[in-house]
Structure 1
């Protein structure tokens, strides 16, 4: 039965990987990732302005207005920036299909996208412009602009529909004229579209989209909608495909709009009542990572786990897991494709978010109104993002208890299996004598000696730059740090850096080796196109191998040497 279950999931995996690696979905996801600093930056000013309200302190109106200037001209223009970042990321993908001598100019695409979006979203007034839809409410329209314009450029550049100047003209001037026709076509297209919508509907496209999708926005805040979102992320991850990379692009506009609406309600003295905010996904559904695995590493450290394997996983995973980096648990246990954990892995995030909705809808607790970094420990993040709502402390305590109760029976069943296997193996060793153990110890000693020799006689004779890519920059940061520490200790010409996939991908051209984490395996074909373009070596990793590399600097260095 278990084998049949695994086979069925394995058949679905290629389809999920294809969805995750879709060029347009990737552009939307990566465009949003690029804009995350704007969201986090603006949230700092919001917290300074409004968090003191929880303790009865209110800034003078003049001070509050000064603090909100940074928010209004960063988060208030978020959709404008996302139009540019989305267009830029799709342009990078389109350029992979064009000759190196005839590429789309990303800067021109960004300019065209932002001009087009301003035309599309700004509402002219007698005394200026209404910028309502330049912010969170215009995100879906921003994605449309960001996905359409690179295609217009691609058609023009590929078919040489450009103004060509003699070769004697300097390159920078020639490029300006080359960009003129695709830019004009892009802006004209959205100018006509804006007029069309105004005549047909009496409003602009962003407002029209919000009205059409408002039932979907409301449905996503229901028990069923929240459960589907939470379970879908866990299900995709269970199949080995990074769940948030598929689900998040579809719901980000809703989450951001709801977070902004919650703050507005809170400012008016009303309840922040929209359940699905940005940090609802980060802290509530993914309480310690997808599958709400925060408690799992700590349970493995307790007396509940008797097997050496799970205790070792617990030691390696509890610190990263506290900061929502749960790959050590997912790959070390393993949970992915492990039928024993299928039910709790999907059920726990659903229970967490439904309980959160109960606290918000029934008990009147404020929902999330600030956007904090996803790496903040979830219990702390929930409390802060709800502006220290008193009931949030109760909610966090209940979630910790419920998550333990859900995971414990399945953990004990799996641990018992591993423990009995370990006992059987130990008895087998005793029966066969200590010869095997002695040989194993000798081999381990030889491996350590060999490793030391390799470190003293490293193959890295010239400067080597390594980029590690994972989903959120968490485990890749651990691996890069391990490599950098060893390089410093051994005085090796090695420098490693880490990024979330889709973030600062231009770095690749300066690298010698790119290591792709297993959670982003669905992106390996897309990444290969980029690394081949810059003649950079790209290697993938398996789950256990990757976690071992993050824990062992010497092994990581050996891996780099073997693959450089």
Structure 2
């Protein structure tokens, strides 16, 4: 067993190190983090707009006015989340290179708007929100990367206007960025003009057809989800933050699926996807953190005789209620503990499979696209994530039972080992 662990460590450590130090993945992760408060704000008002029984307490006309009034919150945040992600990526890409980060955000946003057709439903001069939301997410990410790189390239080539001493700093920086910004945006204008002569007509159509649709379909499948979940657990076992590593790749796909469900939910249509960002965050991470360790902590407090385990459980319980589980991961420990290798890897895979099939046969509604803050305690998070439906909480309760069944023999073995040492 130790040889297997050593071999896995030798393989995973270099991979994780490269991923952690990759500036594109870091910028992507930080771009989503910048957008997250805005997305959560919009989600809160989606929940309020679709609160249970309100349609029965109000007249149809009053309820429609109520929903339309609160709808502005999600329209201005979740519907155009791609804008915030693009600005965040551009900002972080240039900041990491020591440049003027705010111009990185501005040039990334400008490049995306140049590529975006300004026509919606036959009306000229209108930018369709779909191009700035989930449908345009991948184009926005690619655009932000390329725009930031081009901007920094022109800056390093010293294509800048030098202002004399005594000119205010803000004015000087603005003129210094003029030529790099103009050259960068010109490149994107040429790209837009070029695509006008192709069968795709717009860059959006090309990216969506060639890249986004196939990746989204793959990310929505159960096998791809299980691979991602397994990889998260495997990285964490070796003390590496699995979410940061895997989510930086998967988040664009999961958020896109999430937004598709949100649009369907708000329109009263059938939800198209089961796997979304909230499927992962609510029914796996939202049960005590990665590996669903809140249940493990509770089981320890109920079953353990060892003082070491009980003290670890007491210390870990309060943060685990809010899905913070580093105390139990490193205190039990789970990291590099061969005895806990099997339940740690197996449990989320089984839970994800059970949740997927429960939703696919209609026992539990799929996630409604509402972004529930990841610190929301279990059962409340499940209720909110599926559109204020009790079956979301029931599914989390079923998952609790699954976790206990899988972990029980391993907790008992670990308890006997520690108790014997004591």
For Structure 1 versus Structure 2, the TM-score category normalised by the shorter chain is over 0.9
Residues 54 and 313 from structure 1, CA distance in 2 versus in 1: closer, same or farther, beyond 3 angstroms?
Answer: farther
Residues 262 and 341 from structure 1, CA distance in 2 versus in 1: closer, same or farther, beyond 3 angstroms?
Answer: same
Aligned to 1:421: 421
Counterpart-to-counterpart distance in 1, 2:56 and 2:294:
33
* Cα deviations by residue, 1:304-330 (Å, 9 ceiling, x for unpaired): 212111111100001111111000010
Counterpart of 1:110 (choices 86, 92, 105) is: 105
TM-score computed with the length of structure 2 as normaliser: 0.92
Aligned to 1:253: 252
Native 8 Å contact 1:305 1:311 kept in 2: yes
Residues 206 and 245 from structure 1, CA distance in 2 versus in 1: closer, same or farther, beyond 3 angstroms?
Answer: farther
1:61 aligns with 2:64: yes
Aligned to 2:43: 43
The CA deviation at 1:15 is 2.5
Aligned to 1:235: 234
Structure 2 unaligned runs (5+)? none
Counterpart-to-counterpart distance in 2, 1:277 and 1:289:
17
Aligned to 2:83: 80
Native 8 Å contact 1:80 1:118 kept in 2: no
The CA deviation at 1:264 is 2.6
Native 8 Å contact 1:283 1:379 kept in 2: no
Counterpart-to-counterpart distance in 2, 1:267 and 1:171:
47
Residues 198 and 247 from structure 1, CA distance in 2 versus in 1: closer, same or farther, beyond 3 angstroms?
Answer: farther
Aligned to 2:277: 278
Native 8 Å contact 1:223 1:354 kept in 2: yes
More strand by share: 1
The CA deviation at 1:168 is 4.5
Aligned to 1:198: 196
Residues 418 and 190 from structure 1, CA distance in 2 versus in 1: closer, same or farther, beyond 3 angstroms?
Answer: same
Q: Which moved more, 1:349-358 or 1:128-137?
A: 128-137
Counterpart-to-counterpart distance in 1, 2:54 and 2:261:
15
The CA deviation at 1:364 is 5.0
The CA deviation at 1:288 is 1.4
Counterpart-to-counterpart distance in 1, 2:333 and 2:187:
51
1:361 aligns with 2:360: yes
* Cα deviations by residue, 1:479-537 (Å, 9 ceiling, x for unpaired): xxxxxxxxxxxxxxxxxxxxxxxxxxxxxxxxxxxxxxxxxxxxxxxxxxxxxxxxxxx
Native 8 Å contact 2:296 2:404 kept in 1: yes
* Cα deviations by residue, 1:229-251 (Å, 9 ceiling, x for unpaired): 21111111112110011111222
| Structure-to-structure mapping, 1:209-224, within 5 angstroms | 209-212=207-210, 213-224=212-223
| Structure-to-structure mapping, 1:86-125, within 5 angstroms | 86-95=89-98, 104-124=99-119, 125=122
Specify which structure has the bigger relative contact order, considering alpha-carbon pairs within 8 angstroms and separated by 6 or more residues.
2
After the TM superposition, which parts of structure 1 deviate over 6 Å for at least 4 consecutive aligned residues? none
* Cα deviations by residue, 1:170-198 (Å, 9 ceiling, x for unpaired): 43322221100111112112222222233
| Structure-to-structure mapping, 1:272-421, within 5 angstroms | 272-286=271-285, 287-302=287-302, 304-369=303-368, 370-421=370-421
Counterpart-to-counterpart distance in 1, 2:357 and 2:420:
42
Residues 233 and 334 from structure 1, CA distance in 2 versus in 1: closer, same or farther, beyond 3 angstroms?
Answer: same
Native 8 Å contact 2:220 2:276 kept in 1: no
Aligned to 1:146: 144
Counterpart-to-counterpart distance in 1, 2:200 and 2:146:
23
Counterpart-to-counterpart distance in 2, 1:198 and 1:53:
49
Counterpart-to-counterpart distance in 1, 2:191 and 2:361:
44
Residues 92 and 307 from structure 1, CA distance in 2 versus in 1: closer, same or farther, beyond 3 angstroms?
Answer: same
Counterpart-to-counterpart distance in 2, 1:87 and 1:173:
21
Q: How many residues align?
A: 412
Counterpart-to-counterpart distance in 1, 2:69 and 2:199:
37
Counterpart-to-counterpart distance in 2, 1:197 and 1:406:
54
| Structure-to-structure mapping, 1:426-441, within 5 angstroms | none
The CA deviation at 1:273 is 4.1
1:9 aligns with 2:11: no
Secondary structure of the residue aligned to 1:52 is coil
Native 8 Å contact 1:258 1:274 kept in 2: yes
Counterpart-to-counterpart distance in 1, 2:168 and 2:359:
62
Structure 1 unaligned runs (5+)? 96-103, 423-564
Aligned to 1:541: none
Native 8 Å contact 1:121 1:131 kept in 2: no
Counterpart-to-counterpart distance in 1, 2:219 and 2:304:
38
Q: Which moved more, 1:142-151 or 1:327-336?
A: 142-151
The CA deviation at 1:53 is 5.5
Aligned to 1:263: 262
Counterpart-to-counterpart distance in 2, 1:54 and 1:38:
25
TM-score computed with the length of structure 1 as normaliser: 0.70
Counterpart-to-counterpart distance in 1, 2:48 and 2:244:
31
